[in-house]
Structure 1
Amino acid sequence: MSADDAQAAEAAGAQQSLSQMALGYVPARILCSAAELGVADALENGPRDCASLAAETGTDPGALRRLLRALAGLGVVSQLDTERFALTALGSRLTSAAPDSERAGVMLTTAPELWAAWGDLSAVVRSGEPARDPGTGWTAHEAMLRQPEVAAQLRAGMAQASREFAAGVAAAYDFAQFRTVVDYGGDEGILTAAVLTAAPDLRAVLYDRPEALERVSAVLSEAGVADRCEVAEGDLTTPLPPGADACLLNNLVRDRGDGKAAELLRALRAGLAPKGRLLLVETLMPPVLTPDASAAYGLTDLNNLVFTGGRERTRDEYGALLDAAGFTLGATVRVPVSSGMPDYHVIEGIPAP
């Protein structure tokens, strides 16, 4: 970090006391409760008085008024008079039906399992291992996947993230060089649809768990590519089908530590054609984090450790991981993202001789 960066970080910290930083959990819980109670949905059609809102959301009118006043402080609602509140433009993104809805993301970020895991952060840092439930031994991620409603929220959050970069990935990387690409953990098929749209002669196979495949047909049909994609139940242990010359993993390697990630990639290497390609869609951690980059990369990296035991990686770290799995690092193609998320990269793994 340069001297200027260090001064900028110190100046940013001086604007807020440590005690104020420690209260960061309060806005998070306010937003979570508003999402869980459906407050934004109840305000979607215009201003409402507190009594009718309380009746619709099943809440105590006095407590709801206090929640709404706190939401006004966050810019989510505006208070029109003593009793009436209205959604702001920001607050509309907390509704369920908004095209840019962040409701699922808010509820995921503040899910009880993840909340509890972050409460064990000191133990996580001491051990270098993710937080685990003492009764089941599950990580927060494993526990959430075992709950159908929460698992659906996880998928919705992943689908929203995919919408941010899918078209960019398809435009930035030359998928037309392949005949068949296999998308493991393709979820709703958003990235697969974008890739097939960009490469009209390409075919695809999409594997995922049965519960994750409910929306795939609709997504592929809407994009006009359903006839070029085979959708099958499977997971990361499913062997590559014959004839596949590219394997696509979207935001999956970051969920694993180096040992488990290398094990996964080695298994895929065994089924990939000698001239095939492994394509990882991930963010690349800068080797040195500036104050601006720390929130995007540093916090995400730490969350991966707490949540799944995974990690963000630099380009060199991906190179070492691929080498351990029988690949060499090829191109790393940058995919700009305009929504404030870190830019993504298509990271190419070339089978080593």
Structure 2
Amino acid sequence: MTTPPVHPAQLIVDLGFGFILSGALATAAELGIADHLEQGPKSAGLLAEEVGAEASSLYRVLRLLASVGVFTEDASGCFGLTPAADYLRSAAPGSLRSAVLMLTQKIFWAPTGELTETVRTGRTPFDRIFGKPFFDHLASDPVAGATFHRGMSSLSDLENAPIARSYDFSACERVVDVGGGHGGFLIEVLKGSPSLQGVLFDHRHVLDEARIADAGLAGRCELVEGDFFKAVPQGADTYLLKRILHDWSDEVCVGILLNCRRAMKEGGRVLVVDTVIPPGNGPHGGKVLDVMMLASLQGRERTEEDLRKLFAQAGLRLARVLPTPAALSITEAVAA
């Protein structure tokens, strides 16, 4: 049985109400509802007692989420987990609870609510709302910063292994993960190439939560503190930039790429792991991310031609674009 198409008017209404679903999802994640359903379905009243909520309000939020496949509600009014809700459990493999908390925090929510200002002026309202630019705010607010970095790690854990398997690292000797966060992607790269040496390069407060040692890779991977706006570690043949360039303006990106170009050894390469927006008006995850960048940061998601131009300004040449099973592509650049 086929599902009838959504009427165009209903599509507009549904899109207009989209923020309500985001808010409901954020509430379920913050209250840890899925963790409390690990042993089986429970009523909204019992859940409310366990999480410190008002039962009627919680019921209404969970009823909405159940209507879109997040949780189930049985005839007695008890809520249970679905395959989607299982990703909200803190201990679930590939848990997305931290990712939901990151994506729905005010650093994205508030500027998006004022997107019209951005479209009219070409400038994000982030600095006005929070008093300083995006990453400066994260550095000054430990709670927001921790939420962001844990959320990015959570979001990346689903994609890291398939992306790492999409590139042949067997000819590489030393790889620097520039702005590599807690090291999730580098761990997958190193696991797939036993002879490869790695460098996880980021700010100290980020490296403090690095997962390299826990992965048993401390002997093959060095943690280096630094600022990729100023310089990157010298002498590697491979420089990874995963979800880095999309945060920044073209001018800033050229500076980061120049630092990589100056540091890499002869015959080296830069691998940019970001969405590459295809031509046409088909749906693509990069288009959603692009507007999120527009609202909160100075960056953007780019097309292949956009990346080609950035590389050229940094003394690099786009060699190829490799698709991956994730929404991101691997764009390889070599010395021009």
Which residue in 2 is equivalent to 1:272? 264
Q: Give the Cα separation in 2 of the matches to 1:165 and 1:84.
A: 33
Q: Give the Cα separation in 2 of the matches to 1:29 and 1:221.
A: 34
Which residue in 2 is equivalent to 1:8? none
Q: Could you tell me whether the CA contact under 8 Å between 2:103 and 2:151 is conserved in 1?
A: no
Which of 84, 94, 102 is residue 96 of structure 2 equivalent to?
Answer: 102
Q: Could you tell me whether the CA contact under 8 Å between 2:248 and 2:298 is conserved in 1?
A: yes
C-alpha spacing 1:282/1:13, structure 2 compared with 1 (3 Å): farther
Q: Could you tell me whether the CA contact under 8 Å between 1:40 and 1:87 is conserved in 2?
A: yes
Which of 285, 298, 303 is residue 292 of structure 2 equivalent to?
Answer: 303
Letter in 1 for 2:109: W
Tell me how far 1:225 sits from its aligned partner.
Answer: 3.0
Q: How does 1:203-282 map to 2 (within 5 A)?
A: 203-216=197-210, 218-222=211-215, 224-237=216-229, 239-282=231-274
Extract unaligned runs of 5+ from structure 1. 1-10
Q: How does 1:60-99 map to 2 (within 5 A)?
A: 60-82=54-76, 84-99=78-93
Q: Give the Cα separation in 2 of the matches to 1:13 and 1:301.
A: 27
Q: Give the Cα separation in 2 of the matches to 1:17 and 1:200.
A: 50
Which residue in 2 is equivalent to 1:46? 40
Match of 2:309, SS? helix
Question: What TM-score does the superposition give when structure 2 sets the normalisation length?
Answer: 0.89
Tell me how far 1:141 sits from its aligned partner.
Answer: 5.3
C-alpha spacing 1:29/1:240, structure 2 compared with 1 (3 Å): closer
Tell me how far 1:350 sits from its aligned partner.
Answer: 1.6
Q: Could you tell me whether the CA contact under 8 Å between 1:114 and 1:140 is conserved in 2?
A: no
Match of 1:347, SS? strand
Tell me how far 1:313 sits from its aligned partner.
Answer: 0.9
Match of 2:270, SS? strand
Q: Could you tell me whether the CA contact under 8 Å between 2:229 and 2:255 is conserved in 1?
A: no
In the alignment, is residue 328 of structure 1 matched against residue 317 of structure 2?
Answer: yes
Q: Which moved more, 1:199-208 or 1:135-144?
A: 135-144
Tell me how far 1:122 sits from its aligned partner.
Answer: 0.8
Which residue in 2 is equivalent to 1:199? 193
* Amino-acid identity (%): 33
Q: Give the Cα separation in 1 of the matches to 2:166 and 2:180.
A: 19
Q: How does 1:36-185 map to 2 (within 5 A)?
A: 36-82=30-76, 84-134=78-128, 136-140=130-134, 142-185=136-179
C-alpha spacing 1:83/1:285, structure 2 compared with 1 (3 Å): closer
Q: Could you tell me whether the CA contact under 8 Å between 1:165 and 1:335 is conserved in 2?
A: no
Q: Could you tell me whether the CA contact under 8 Å between 1:183 and 1:192 is conserved in 2?
A: yes
Question: What TM-score does the superposition give when structure 1 sets the normalisation length?
Answer: 0.85
Q: Over the residues paired in the alignment, what is the CA RMSD in angstroms?
A: 2.3
Q: Could you tell me whether the CA contact under 8 Å between 2:94 and 2:158 is conserved in 1?
A: no
Tell me how far 1:99 sits from its aligned partner.
Answer: 1.2
Match of 1:226, SS? coil
Tell me how far 1:221 sits from its aligned partner.
Answer: 4.5
In the alignment, is residue 283 of structure 1 matched against residue 275 of structure 2?
Answer: yes
C-alpha spacing 1:134/1:351, structure 2 compared with 1 (3 Å): same
Tell me how far 1:142 sits from its aligned partner.
Answer: 4.4
In the alignment, is residue 349 of structure 1 matched against residue 333 of structure 2?
Answer: yes
C-alpha spacing 1:121/1:13, structure 2 compared with 1 (3 Å): farther
Which of 14, 19, 32 is residue 8 of structure 2 equivalent to?
Answer: 14
